[in-house]
Chain A
Amino acid sequence: MKKILKNLSLIPDTKDIKIILISFLIINFAFLYHTLNFMWGNHDVKFIKEELLFSSGLFEGRFTQFIPYRLFVDGQILPILNNFIGFTFLTLALWLLAKYWNIKKSILNYILFITFFATQPYTLSWMYFTFITISCLSWTFFAILGLYLSHQISFSKNKLILTILSIICFYLPLGGYPPIINTFFVCLSAKITLDYIFENKSLKDLFNIYKYTILNILIATILYKISLNFVPHNDVYNLETTPIKELPLKFITCLKISFQQFLVTVPFMEIGYKILLFSMCIIATIGCLLKSKTPKKYFLSLLFITTTIWFTALTTFLVVPPTEYVSRIDFYGFGFLYAFFLCLLLRLTPKIYESLGLIFCFILIPLNILNDYHALKIWKQGFDAEFQILDKVTEKIENHPLFNSNKKYRIYIAGDISLRPSYYNGKFQKDDVFFYSLPYLAMWQGANLVQFYSPYNYISDPSIITPEDITPEVYNFITKDAHYWPHENSIFINNNIIIVIYNQYGLEELKQKIKIFSP
């Protein structure tokens, strides 16, 4: 075992251990406020109290999603450890990526490369939902390990073992979160580009080396699609794939999106920051093109870079739901693209490019961390504000004369309350729900939320308001008397149901829904 790992250069030496430890500490510092303040997103409410099972992700076809949780934390969402384990995988993944992309090995280069990627606000998008933090950060490790092992196949005697291992490495994350496919292709395309530019490999050589990687990814993807047939999943939006006839048009759309991403701003990634990142990418591209001595090389370098950029929108290309400018999809694609441009700068000659790369790191890493802390401040304020409202709702329910804690009610929450935006005054073009607008008190989680801090379980399961519940009394209340929070009439209780109205939109929606029950 030790020998195999040694042959694959996977045993870290003292320098590597220092790199991994220091990078891990910096990454933890960047997200320390989150680690220390136990916050959770609206999908987590039930899982914070209960445990995650192997089967918890099956309904949406995520059949390997909770394997890391069962293995490392016995299905629990634990404060501190949730982020620690996730960051450990992320650090190892990026250390491996630095090796895979052949960045010149020095403690400084590696640490800057690792921390530049990991501290980008994209990472934060995996921390809103605590029930997938470990899995989704660990998938990057498996993806890059898969690429690394596949790359070794052409130089190794143990071709079969490496092939099997790398297929497993690709299959596991695909089964957990399919958009990881962006990472496969962005990192692979980047590696091919780097080899073409710096190692002067011919197209034939590149094909011979990377055919195994492409084949392994293909096999893993086919296995994933076959597995989906055996998984008892629901018809959920995130399993819808683009029909073949729409692909050509979508190809062009994705090309446009992939380039637009450089300058489209989202919360906590504002224009100045984006321009700085874009400048880094432009300088790296110019450096590559200037390095090309023949028109063919010039053209192919440009083509490879463009392909790498296009792959950042691969998920958008493959699936129906809109995934462009979504931070957690960009974590698997666009984040790696920035890392690729940084890698180009660190590898380019003359030395001025490397110096520029380091200067960019020294500016961008602190900016990343500042953006992270800014976001986390707003998250915490939003979280506290929303949960204070939840306390007040609980108190109003408890104090209601008709409320009996021994009874079981069905509950309907009309509207959401999302308060993170109240604490943010930055400018952005595209909202990102995970960073900014997704409520902690989501209406569909009403049953779990009102019982979260409550001493008793009073919501029946399944908790859906039935047509029989819309009695004339209820109908009159909703259409005439109801008002949204914090009005006295924002809560209604009778013997069977509880209605909580958070906002005007929710109230109007509820009115529309019950129209058919008009007495």
Chain B
Amino acid sequence: MLNIKSIKLLTKAELSLWFYSFIFLCLGFSPVILDFIWGNHDWLPILNGNALHSGLIEGRITQYIFLCLFLDGKILPIINTTLGFLVYTLSIVILNTRFFEFKTSQLKSTIIIISIATLSYINEIIYFQFIVFSQLFWPLIISLSLIFSKKATCSHFAIFTLISTILLYLGIAGYPASANLFATGTILYLLHSYDNNNSFTKTLKKLIPFAISFIIAFICLYFSYQYLKSQNLMKDMYNNNISNPIQILLKLPNILLLSIKSLLQPQPFFSITYKIISFFVILIYSITYLTKSQNKINFIVRLFFIILTFLAIKFSAILTEELETSYFPKYDPIAFMVRTDFFAIPCFLMFSFFFIMQASYKILQNITIISSFLLFFINLNQNLDYSKTQILGFTSETNLLNRITNRIESFPKYKLYNYYTVVQTGDIPLRSRYYQSKPFEKYGYYNKDVALVRHWLPHEFYNFYTPVPFVLASSAINSDDLTPDMISFLATKVETWPSPNSIYVNDKYAIVALSEEGRRMLKEQFNSLIRNH
């Protein structure tokens, strides 16, 4: 029988680590926690909450389970994020104490755990309020899955493997990139085992429960997708295309390079200093690990494990088929996605820190602790910089939205209680105006570039603050609805915001040309209408 007592509750030391990591994580993001702000997908969920099935359309089967279970699907200020932080920091703690089982002094553990828990990878996760709670839950679920797989190597193989599989399925069905944590954790666990026993066979044996959980969970996910598609509940989208095995094999060398590059590439809210320190820690760990080799074969196996780790942290990039024609590869390439790194890099860095702390060189330990402390301070800076950027950007974009709404409402032909089809072209993202870019930085699509409004869904934001909703929906202009007045506006007058000719309102349509790109799109739309007319 399974001995329930073998699953211990948290010790005092773990509670202390949990407490401090939670407090410091909250501190770094306190401005965004206290100022209730949200991302561009959140307008409707803020009003209506999320239903259990809301994520099915993109294959996120279990996305809202915990949100519905704990918060009745609602998005609540403070609660959503802090509860999420609470479970996320718990996952960091148990990953160290229960999975890797590194032992060092409480003070040193606290410093390292705080520096890991406050890593800025979380910033893209908390941009969207509608998924923050779920996304922060997955690291805990995956950590538990890893712990049960590990337990299965010692006892109750079947039952622990089954629990691990269920947990893993729960995680990847909610957000497939959470598999990055499982892959990274598994490889690091094997690598650590090999370091202790130096036997490849023994190490491989330990892989079995992990591999079984992994394979079964992914097979289940595959069949779940097939079923959902057959029922027309799920669509093929950019984020659920999977590469075939040959494609996967071919892109491994490139992913390995990208993985190393991404560890060094400064990104918004990940300064070059942060990248250098974190890479330095990983490098020291890798060298320490390799220097423990006893012979050539041992060295090769160790090198193999290190390479595997670098691949594992980009597991989602290996699996996903990134379409060259898609919008995202240019602005938000998968190998540099902060929100997928969130699931792997904290785990990798934490392992690196603790591994070095186990090394016998005192100087390395001291360097590690200093690096850890520095990293914590940099994280705090980056997280508060992020918070400032979000708050000022949100304020300026909502102010702009109010001004556009005022302009529409004060248009001579605007009628109260009439519903309009809004054609808004282009958008004006403003967060980046409050962020001071650092040298060599790239990307930052969600954490600073994307606009607060999705111009193709104007009913979400125009109806949000107005006392009388006026937006019915968004659609292209119907050629039958073209009037001479509208034709004159589209053909000759249309300009970009804030020009008086950036807005046109008649009985049926409200047309808004926000940016120059938007104006061009509107013209193209008009030309095509005229051709068809």
Question: A residues within 8 Å of B by Cβ?
Answer: 36, 38, 48-51, 72-81, 391, 394-395, 398-399, 401, 403-405, 452-455
Contacts and interface: CB of A to CB of B under 8 A. Distances in A.
B400 A455 contact: yes
A38 B34 CA distance: 11
A386 to B, nearest CB: 14
Nearest to B395: A453
Contacts of B27: 80
B124 to A, nearest CB: 19
B30 A73 contact: no
A251 B477 CA distance: 80
Nearest to B434: A49
Contact of B436 (A50, A403, A405): A50
B384 A403 contact: no
Contacts of B436: 49-51, 75-76
A79 B387 contact: yes
A339 to B, nearest CB: 29
Interface string B374-406: 000100110011011001100110011001001
Interface in B447-479: none
B395 A79 contact: no
B3 interface: no
A404 B499 contact: yes
B384 A80 contact: yes
Interface in B342-387: 377, 380-381, 384-385, 387
A38 B399 contact: no
B407 interface: yes
Contact of B271 (A48, A74, A454): A74
A395 B402 CA distance: 10
10 contacts: A36-B31, A49-B392, A74-B381, A80-B30, A80-B387, A81-B381, A398-B403, A399-B498, A453-B392, A455-B433
The majority secondary structure among interface residues of chain A is loop
Contacts of B428: 455
A48 B500 CA distance: 31
Contacts of A51: 436
B430 interface: yes
A78 B498 contact: no
B388 A399 contact: no
B384 A78 contact: yes
A441 to B, nearest CB: 15
A455 B395 CA distance: 12
A77 B396 CA distance: 18
Nearest to A405: B498
Nearest to B29: A80
Contact of A399 (B271, B384, B385, B407): B407
Contacts, number: 71
Contacts of A405: 496-499
Contacts of A395: 403, 406
A196 to B, nearest CB: 43
A455 B399 CA distance: 10
A259 to B, nearest CB: 44
B341 to A, nearest CB: 22
B392 A48 contact: yes
A77 B406 CA distance: 33
A205 B434 CA distance: 58
Nearest to B400: A455
A4 B499 CA distance: 68
B158 to A, nearest CB: 50
A415 to B, nearest CB: 23
A453 B396 contact: yes
B313 to A, nearest CB: 27
Contacts of A452: 396
B381 A73 contact: yes
Interface string B472-505: 0000000000000000000000001111100000
A351 B428 CA distance: 69
3 nearest A-B pairs in the assembled complex, by CB-CB distance = A398-B498, A78-B384, A453-B396
Given A38-B391, A80-B31, A394-B399, 6 more contacts: A79-B387, A395-B403, A399-B500, A453-B395, A454-B396, A455-B497
Nearest to A391: B399
Contacts of A76: 381, 385, 388, 436
A79 B433 contact: no
Nearest to A49: B434
B384 A455 contact: no
B380 A81 contact: yes
B490 to A, nearest CB: 21
A72 B403 CA distance: 38
A453 B434 CA distance: 9
A404 B496 CA distance: 10
Interface string B20-35: 0000000100110010
A398 B500 CA distance: 9
Contacts of A453: 392, 395-396, 399
A287 B377 CA distance: 47
B385 A38 contact: no
A453 B398 CA distance: 10
Given A49-B433, A403-B498, A455-B428, A79 B384 contact: yes
Nearest to B403: A395
A398 B400 CA distance: 10
Contacts of A404: 499
A84 to B, nearest CB: 8
Nearest to A387: B395
A509 to B, nearest CB: 30
**Most interface-central of B30, B380, B384 (chain A CB within 10 A):** B384
Contacts of A80: 27, 30-31, 384, 387
Contacts of B377: 72
Contacts of B388: 38, 48, 76-79
Interface in B397-423: 399-400, 403, 406-407
A81 B34 contact: no
Contacts of B400: 455
B502 to A, nearest CB: 10
A76 B400 CA distance: 25
A383 B385 CA distance: 21
Interface in B417-451: 428, 430, 433-434, 436
B220 to A, nearest CB: 44
A401 B388 CA distance: 34
A401 B403 CA distance: 15
A80 B381 CA distance: 10
B34 A36 contact: yes
A338 B391 CA distance: 39
Contacts of B31: 36, 38, 79-80
Contact of A78 (B381, B403, B496): B381
Contacts of A391: 399
Contact of B430 (A72, A73, A78, A455): A455
Contacts of B497: 405, 455
B377 to A, nearest CB: 8
B309 to A, nearest CB: 30
Nearest to A35: B30
A405 B519 CA distance: 15
A395 B407 CA distance: 10
A377 B499 CA distance: 39
A74 B499 CA distance: 39
A514 to B, nearest CB: 28
Nearest to A82: B384
A48 B430 CA distance: 15
Interface string B180-208: 00000000000000000000000000000
Contacts of B271: 74
A72 B500 CA distance: 46
A75 B392 CA distance: 18
Nearest to B516: A406
Nearest to A403: B498
A76 B434 CA distance: 11
Nearest to A51: B436
**Most interface-central of B271, B387, B433 (chain A CB within 10 A):** B433
Contact of A401 (B34, B387, B434, B500): B500
Contacts of A403: 498
